[in-house]
Amino acid sequence: MKNKNVLTLYFADLTHDQILIANAMFPLGIGYVASALKAIFKDEIEVDLFKYPSNLDAALKNNPPDIYLFSNYMWNQNINLFYAKKVKELFPGTLIISGGPNMSSDVYERKKFLEDHPYLDLFILGEGEVPACSIIREYIDLGKSLEVSLNPEGEIETE
């Protein structure tokens, strides 16, 4: 049984593997981010890293994530966006975070990217360790919910 006090984080740097493996490299980027988060949050989080879609499919059937983070490269953007959308459809309360080098430095292109992919909640530009830690801390502090509103005093209140 899942411990409700522990956040489940799934990290994906997926590769196409139907005919051949498109990218057999170890997912170092998501490994660094996951390691930084574990160093800060210790037993408050559980992390799982995924390279192969079949492993992610199996995990999604057994234990939905609270937070889904994926690394976005030009060679895996489509498969990663497919799974981000799938996760959001299956588990609407899951926080979806994209990061990686395949994001434009142009603010209008980034805005269009988010508009074209409304299932994405956030993306991280550049190195992900520090921003991911800040995001997870805020998420925890806001009651582990995407539903946030202001009370009459103008303070943040979770629903």
Chain segment 92-145, per-residue pLDDT in tens? 999 999 988 778 888 999 899 999 999 999 988 877 788 898 999 989 888 887
CATH 3.90.420.10 assigned to 7-158: no
Structure confidence at residue 71 (pLDDT): 86
| Whether the predicted pLDDT of 39 surpasses 70 | yes
**Token digits of residue 61:** 């059937």
Ramachandran angles phi, psi of 53, nearest 5°: -55, -35
| Whether the predicted pLDDT of 9 surpasses 90 | yes
Asked if 49 and 31 touch (Cβ cutoff 8 Å), the reply is yes
- d(CA 59, CA 65) in angstroms, rounded, equals 9
Structure confidence at residue 157 (pLDDT): 53
Per-domain residue ranges of the chain: 7-158
Q: Read off the amino acid at residue 152.
A: P
- Cβ within 8 Å of residue 52, ≥6 positions away: 14, 15, 17
**Token digits of residue 93:** 């309360």
Structure confidence at residue 150 (pLDDT): 46
Report the b/e string of 86-104 with b at 16+ CB within 10 A: ebbeeeeebbbbbbbeebe
Higher pLDDT, residue 63 or 104:
63
Per DSSP, the three-state class of 129 is helix
Higher pLDDT, residue 147 or 95:
95
- d(CA 136, CA 11) in angstroms, rounded, equals 13
- d(CA 35, CA 57) in angstroms, rounded, equals 23
